[in-house]
Amino acid sequence: MTPSNSQFVSLRGLNCHVRSWGEPDGTPLLLLHGWMDNSASFQFLADALGPRWRLTAPDWRGFGLSEWAPGGVYAYTDYLADLDALIDALALGPQVQILGHSLGGYIACMYAATRPARVARLINLEGMGLRAREGAEAPAYLAQWLDEIKGPRMPKTYPSYDDLSRRILKNNPWLTPERALFVARHWATEMTHGVVALLADPGHNHMLPDLFRLDEARALWGAITCPTLWVEAEGSRNTERHHISPAGLAERRAALAAAQVKKIARAGHMAHMEQPEALASLVEEFIRPLA
């Protein structure tokens, strides 16, 4: 495997972990993971891209080795502000190239819309957003959110890394057993003998404090000016999970009028883990690596 390096940076009061692969003079690409994931799952993409790339991947607040947010409350705007702070803290240059998966893909789109001068190229992998809600839902929605955040914050546990890897394989059938075990060992930590706990704040299982408004999302997607690649996995069920119809997905794609659209076969939502070689080919086609 391509070796990775770790460092910790302070972002808006939280100690956050950042993983990197490659040489400092390689083609730079910032990688943003999705919900209930962390930076380690980009290992297979790093292996597929090879040494000519300089990859940087943070663990979002409350995931992986990064510090949890007080109170277990997380919002899209928290991730957006953390991303802005990260790019400054690591001095990644006047412009960055970003690949974001799922949650990370949507946050990358938010950043490209709000800081257009700072994003050179954008790859959005399965980052089509959540179930669209209407403003009239706000009172009941926020009441439910208040109830949820009062609950306990006990991390999900499994008897062993092998048990967790089998669960990962069940949800990601195109993943190899070896890769599933690697992911399990980075998604969790051994608490006591016979118990491994997920490295994720259980607060992430709560509702977001803000409604996902499609009009806002369309405005953000429509404000993106950099070259953009929209990537979907053919076996993904993410749209069903978030109640996005085929027509609704087409509407979301169309909001990025100039984006290229590509699909990855034999992959579910976690395409960067299941088909990293196919994703690497799309990355290299979209972003020419340095000679």
Cβ neighbours around 131 below 10 Å, total: 13
User: Are β-strands 53-58 and 96-101 bridged in parallel, bridged antiparallel, or unpaired?
Assistant: unpaired
- Report the pLDDT value the prediction gives residue 117, as an integer from 0 to 100: 97
User: Are β-strands 53-58 and 27-32 bridged in parallel, bridged antiparallel, or unpaired?
Assistant: parallel
Would you list the DSSP string of 196-249? EEESB-GGGGSPPSS---HHHHHHHHHT--S-EEEEEETT--HHHHTT--HHHH
Q: Active site includes 102?
A: yes
Cβ neighbours around 30 below 10 Å, total: 23
Contacts of 281-288 with CB under 8 Å at 24 or more apart are 282/123, 282/229, 282/231, 283/29, 283/45, 283/49, 283/99, 283/123, 284/49, 286/121, 286/123, 286/227, 286/229, 286/260, 287/27, 287/29, 287/97, 287/121, 287/123, 288/27
- Report the pLDDT value the prediction gives residue 110, as an integer from 0 to 100: 98
Whether the model pTM is above 0.75: yes
- Report the pLDDT value the prediction gives residue 22, as an integer from 0 to 100: 95
Question: Per-residue pLDDT tens for 186-210?
Answer: 999 998 778 999 999 999 999 999 9
d(CA 237, CA 262): 17
Give the confidence band of 290 by pLDDT, cuts at 50, 70, 90: low
Residue spans of the domains in the chain: they are 4-153+204-286, 156-198
Are 58 and 66 in contact by the 8 Å Cβ rule? The answer is yes
Catalytic, out of 20, 39, 66, 102 = 102
Q: What is the mean pLDDT of the chain?
A: 95
What angle do the packed helices 214-222 and 103-114 form, to 10 degrees?
Answer: 60
Residue 158 has pLDDT above 60, yes or no: yes
Question: Per-residue pLDDT tens for 39-65?
Answer: 999 999 999 999 899 999 999 999 999
d(CA 284, CA 211): 36
Q: Which CATH number fits domain 4-153+204-286: 3.10.180.10, 2.60.40.3140, 3.40.50.1820, 3.90.1150.10?
A: 3.40.50.1820
- Report the pLDDT value the prediction gives residue 129, as an integer from 0 to 100: 96
